[in-house]
Structure 1
């Protein structure tokens, strides 16, 4: 056999040994991608709480976004599609989202529904006397998150809902929730300390609509609003006149505009009542990501800073 023939044979034998050896190597395992849990939250504050508890395991769609008004929200077809695709839907409850039951039914979703405010005893509008009768005197106040202690309940309900929808993530949800509850405890202490620095006689505020009842009870400020617990209830001229008289009579120091509201009404009350126009506060919605209140924790801290600055704490 010629030199070329031997070389060719050796090459062939070499390949014969090499090819089977490679064939016996275990196949390379691609890393298993964790399937994210699709969650729909009805409004931006809930969306943030779900992200805090869910972490990287969840993909959150928020129906009513930053600076949006959930009271007057009208769902679009895309919202129904998002609900249909979700594994979990998180709602506030307490009548806050009057449109959500119809949306869930129309979507045909099989998602579990978590009511974040479940277990919270609601207060009723005006039952502690902070503001005139707006024709909704026995409506449940849905703004329970304005008391940080209530937000602990929200977090626990969201944690349990996520664990039910995604049992493999239970430990992660538990750990995230525990860490976030510690932050809520620190926030509650901050708010109490800040309000304690405001002279008691000056702890009175006018806001656009009656969204701070839980804050008032928990932290000792008094709020007056020309609208009821829903921003959809139009303040009448009589309501506005009554508020102006109260501002003058009680020497209420400051009037605050909410991020979801028309500024003209509050400017009129401040002007006619002789009160200071405070900064913008956030009641029912977070700010845009680059704004002053992009998360629940930052929203509460921002509001308290504005209250203290205007009331002389």
Structure 2
């Protein structure tokens, strides 16, 4: 079904039974908050901070692509009965405003990236700020504040859970810096499908190239491919990475033409399904760093 058709139909769904048992927006004391998060990485962050105090539903689940997501009738129903909606912002979810309006949701919308200074790509904010663990801590603080406002009686518990999570992020950030600093700067060059690792590049000193811009919705032309191949050769890029949610054929073509090693698969915009190598945000980041470091080290060997 076309996106316009789906969105036009959503407004009529507010009178249908909700997917959560109670319809009221004000969460009853003692009952878990009903939180809708826009995509899987954000949903995991919310769950880590909220713990048992919230039931978190993710609109774009593991393996999905928030850039090209098409809302379904069930998504409108979820929003209609939610207590809180958490989004990334920075124009990642171009569909969210229409979905909220169609659902009739009147509660609070939390923008997790609030307070972040975005990098700009062709005049557009880069929405992938979670690729920096420093900015991820800002996400967590915003989520923490929103949950405490919704559940003031549980503020102490929420603070304890948030602080424990923030310590994990900080420790991972320190390990990441140390691992990448051990690789000479001239060797820290790589390419991936779309420009999703700019914050990672700025934070950890890795040069990234990509044939696509900040969104996977962009088409890639033969000119774009030729440009990337030229840049790979000129800059002596060490490794090329596939993306878990993308079609590998484009990057395989670029790797062949540029003579660049394929270093593995990265998770850019989504978690893996449960039980996979990146089924939480922390595991995603650790997996990506390990894959990047191994590929850059291997490509540097004679």
TM-score surpassing 0.5? yes
Specify the SS of the correspondent of 1:72.
coil
Q: What is residue 264 of structure 1 aligned with on the other side? A: 249
Instruction: Establish whether residue 100 from structure 1 lines up as the match of residue 96 from structure 2.
Output: yes
- Aligned equivalents of 1:171, 1:89: Cα separation in 2: 22
Specify the SS of the correspondent of 2:158.
helix
Q: In the TM superposition, what are the counterparts of 1:78-227 in structure 2 within 5 Å?
A: 78-125=74-121, 137-227=122-212
Instruction: Establish whether residue 235 from structure 1 lines up as the match of residue 220 from structure 2.
Output: yes
Specify the SS of the correspondent of 1:66.
coil
Measured after TM superposition, the shift of residue 212 of structure 1 is 0.4
Structure 1: give runs of 5+ residues left out of the alignment: 1-32, 126-136
- Aligned equivalents of 1:124, 1:88: Cα separation in 2: 29
Runs of 4+ in 1 over 3 A off after TM superposition: none
Specify the SS of the correspondent of 1:120.
coil
Measured after TM superposition, the shift of residue 110 of structure 1 is 2.2
Specify the SS of the correspondent of 1:205.
strand
Q: What is residue 281 of structure 1 aligned with on the other side? A: 266
Measured after TM superposition, the shift of residue 168 of structure 1 is 2.0
- Aligned equivalents of 2:233, 2:199: Cα separation in 1: 25
- Aligned equivalents of 1:138, 1:270: Cα separation in 2: 29
CA deviation map 1:42-84 (0-9, x unaligned): 0000000000000001000000011110000000010010011
Match of 2:287 among 285, 299, 302: 302
Q: What is residue 7 of structure 1 aligned with on the other side? A: none
- Aligned equivalents of 1:194, 1:234: Cα separation in 2: 34
Structure 2: give runs of 5+ residues left out of the alignment: 1-28
CA deviation map 1:68-114 (0-9, x unaligned): 10000000010010011110000000001000011111111122110
Which structure's CA Rg is the greater one? 1
- Aligned equivalents of 2:114, 2:213: Cα separation in 1: 22
Measured after TM superposition, the shift of residue 147 of structure 1 is 0.5
Moved more, 218-227 or 169-178: 169-178
Match of 2:59 among 54, 63, 67: 63
Q: What is residue 6 of structure 1 aligned with on the other side? A: none
Q: What is residue 240 of structure 2 aligned with on the other side? A: 255
Measured after TM superposition, the shift of residue 199 of structure 1 is 2.1
Specify the SS of the correspondent of 1:70.
coil
**TM-align CA RMSD:** 1.3
Specify the SS of the correspondent of 1:118.
coil
